[in-house]
């Protein structure tokens, strides 16, 4: 069976996902077969595996860092929030149902065998499993049925690293307070503390580190710097415009919808040297971009109403009338059509007029489309670009217009009219071909020379970012102590 290590955090956003990705890459670099594992993930950014099953993107990123194919066993439970109190529950890649928080809390116990079986099958296949917790293990009101933090660590007999985020401030209180709220047997599982996202001179921290170790009774195994590796983060989307993006020649505005999903679709655009990508949520932020993108959303009709009420829909329609290109992806594609109907109340219920930029109509049904596809773009501005993507959506869209692309089985997908394009395909920019074709067309449209901005392959770029992440974590984490803890737990 595999050796195991678990990363828990003092809060959401403490950097657990990236630390796990770093360890996955480090163990891979050291010649080991390694896989990530997170028993329960809550995120709107999801991914479709080659066998058509759905999982969270954090474990996809970690699998890429480990050099292995993403597998739903790495994330057996995925919660996709649909409201403040409810989520779509996905178990081993399949929709289990729509549940309120209280109902799901009551049913969590029944999922323990699913988690155990998924983990055991991975552990029989790999040398090391890197496990990620969720939120904080000190949520004492949720301890009784915990399946993702200390409850999971106990189930799997896993040693734990506890990470705190110094960038938010109060890291000593975060770490000590978390340890203090745990039960004695839970505290004993913590083999080391990690201070994450540090900017500055580590020597200044040393007196505090010594005091923390004395009070918590647990060694600090690393102070990891704030790492500027460009790696997908499924749990947050910064509205800050990176200064590198701000000075690029082509301005791309992605509408930050309230229920935005799969925003990592646009990471390849951000990496292109000619494309300045920014995320906007108010009319005054929109300006006069060279391209507007409507992304995916967990609730198309509610987010279309939001666009309508805050004035962004009118602003986008005005830009489109002035020949500004508009791209809609998944829910964004549905918004671009003439009408949306929800007779079963899957999303909002009733009917809603769309933006009318494409001649399509969408009907929401209870059936979820979930598939990986290959396609070739037919829209003349980017004709011939190859796509390897996936579909995750509840609606069925029909109508006129020319197809955006043709799938490998000969079926057409999406639509275009003029400089407005719509497609259901997530991951459409990952091959790099559509990114390059779109950037070339946008540059030429502005009278600029595309050959002056040749992008690096997206896959090569991501590999370089994983190596950068691993190098900085390797230099600042006591890996010998971590490996010893893993061996000690393995031998009881």
Is residue 330 part of the annotated active site? The answer reads yes
DSSP secondary structure string, 153-203? HHHHT--EEEEEEGGGS-HHHHHHHHHHHS-HHHHTTEEEEEEEEE-S-GG
The label of the residue with tokens 């219920």 reads 349
In this structure, what DSSP letter does residue 110 have? G
Is residue 426 part of the annotated active site? The answer reads yes
Cβ atoms of 68 and 60 within 8 Å: the answer is no
Tell me, what's the pLDDT at 67?
Answer: 96
Q: Which of 272, 393, 426, 458 is catalytic?
A: 426
Tell me, what's the pLDDT at 471?
Answer: 95
Cβ atoms of 58 and 43 within 8 Å: the answer is yes
Structure tokens at 472: 């900085």
Please check whether the two domains, 3-231+463-490 and 250-452, share a CATH topology.
Answer: yes
Instruction: Name the CATH superfamily for 3-231+463-490.
Output: P-loop containing nucleotide triphosphate hydrolases (3.40.50.300)
Helix, strand and coil in the chain, % to nearest 5: 40, 30, 30
- Which run of H or E residues covers position 54? strand 54-56
pLDDT in tens, 52-70: 999 999 999 999 999 999 9
At 88 the three-state DSSP class reads: strand
Helices and strands, number each (H, E), in the chain: 17, 26
Round to whole Å and give the CA distance between 26 and 476. Answer: 12
The label of the residue with tokens 């983990």 reads 119
Tell me, what's the pLDDT at 240?
Answer: 44
Structure tokens at 60: 């996809």
Q: Which of 330, 393, 405, 458 is catalytic?
A: 330
Pick out the chain residues at pLDDT < 50.
238-241
Question: Is this structure's pTM higher than 0.75?
Answer: yes
Q: Which residues have C-beta within 8 Å of that of residue 305, sequence separation ≥ 6?
A: 348, 352
Domain ranges of the chain: 3-231+463-490, 250-452
Phi/psi for 93 (5° steps) reads 85, -5
In this structure, what DSSP letter does residue 402 have? B
Round to whole Å and give the CA distance between 490 and 336. Answer: 55
Distance linking the first and last C-alpha atoms of the chain: 13
- Domain 250-452 in CATH 3.40.50.880: yes
The label of the residue with tokens 């595309």 reads 450
């Amino acid at each position: 069976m595999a050796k195991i290590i678990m990363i828990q955090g003092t809060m959401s956003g403490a950097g657990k996902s990236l630390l796990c990705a770093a360890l996955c890459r480090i163990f891979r670099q050291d010649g080991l077969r390694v896989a990530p594992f997170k028993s329960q993930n809550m995120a709107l950014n999801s991914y479709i595996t080659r066998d058509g099953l759905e999982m969270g993107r954090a474990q996809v990123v970690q699998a890429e860092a480990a050099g292995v194919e993403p597998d739903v066993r790495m994330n057996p439970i995925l919660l996709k929030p649909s409201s403040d109190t409810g989520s779509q529950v996905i178990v081993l890649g399949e929709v289990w149902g729509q549940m309120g928080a209280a109902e799901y809390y009551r049913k969590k116990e029944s999922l323990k065998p699913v988690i155990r079986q998924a983990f055991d099958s991975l552990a029989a296949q790999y040398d090391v499993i890197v496990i990620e917790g969720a939120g904080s293990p000190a949520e004492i009101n949720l301890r009784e049925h915990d399946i993702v933090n200390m409850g999971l660590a106990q189930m799997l007999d896993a040693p734990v690293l506890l990470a705190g985020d110094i960038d938010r401030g109060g890291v000593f209180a975060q770490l000590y307070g978390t340890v203090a709220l745990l039960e004695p047997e839970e505290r004993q599982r913590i083999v080391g503390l990690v201070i994450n996202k540090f900017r500055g001179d580590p020597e200044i921290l040393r007196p505090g580190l010594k005091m923390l170790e004395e009070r918590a009774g647990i060694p600090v195994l690393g102070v990891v710097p704030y790492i500027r590796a460009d790696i997908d983060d499924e749990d947050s989307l910064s509205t800050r415009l990176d200064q590198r993006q701000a000075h690029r020649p082509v301005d791309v505005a992605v509408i930050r919808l309230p229920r935005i999903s799969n925003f990592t679709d646009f990471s390849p655009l951000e990496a292109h040297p000619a494309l300045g990508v920014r995320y906007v949520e108010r009319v005054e932020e929109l300006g006069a971009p060279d391209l507007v993108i409507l992304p995916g959303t967990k609730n198309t009709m509610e987010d279309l109403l939001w666009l309508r009420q805050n004035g962004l829909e009118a602003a986008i329609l005005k830009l489109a009338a002035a020949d500004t290109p508009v791209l809609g992806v998944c829910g964004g594609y549905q918004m671009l059509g003439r009408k949306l109907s929800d007779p079963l109340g899957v999303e909002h219920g009733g009917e809603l007029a769309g933006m009318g930029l494409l001649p399509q109509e969408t009907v929401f049904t209870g059936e979820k489309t979930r598939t990986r596809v290959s396609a070739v773009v037919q829209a003349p501005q980017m004709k011939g670009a190859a796509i390897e993507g996936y579909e995750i959506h509840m609606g069925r869209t029909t109508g006129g217009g020319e197809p955006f692309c043709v799938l490998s089985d000969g079926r057409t997908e999406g639509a275009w009219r003029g400089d407005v394009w719509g497609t259901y395909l997530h991951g459409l920019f990952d091959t790099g071909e559509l990114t390059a074709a779109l950037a070339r067309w946008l540059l030429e449209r502005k009278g600029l020379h595309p050959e002056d901005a040749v992008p690096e392959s997206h896959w090569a770029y991501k590999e370089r970012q994983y190596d950068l992440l691993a190098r900085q974590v390797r230099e600042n984490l006591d890996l010998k102590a971590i490996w010893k803890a893993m061996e000690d737990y393995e031998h009881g």
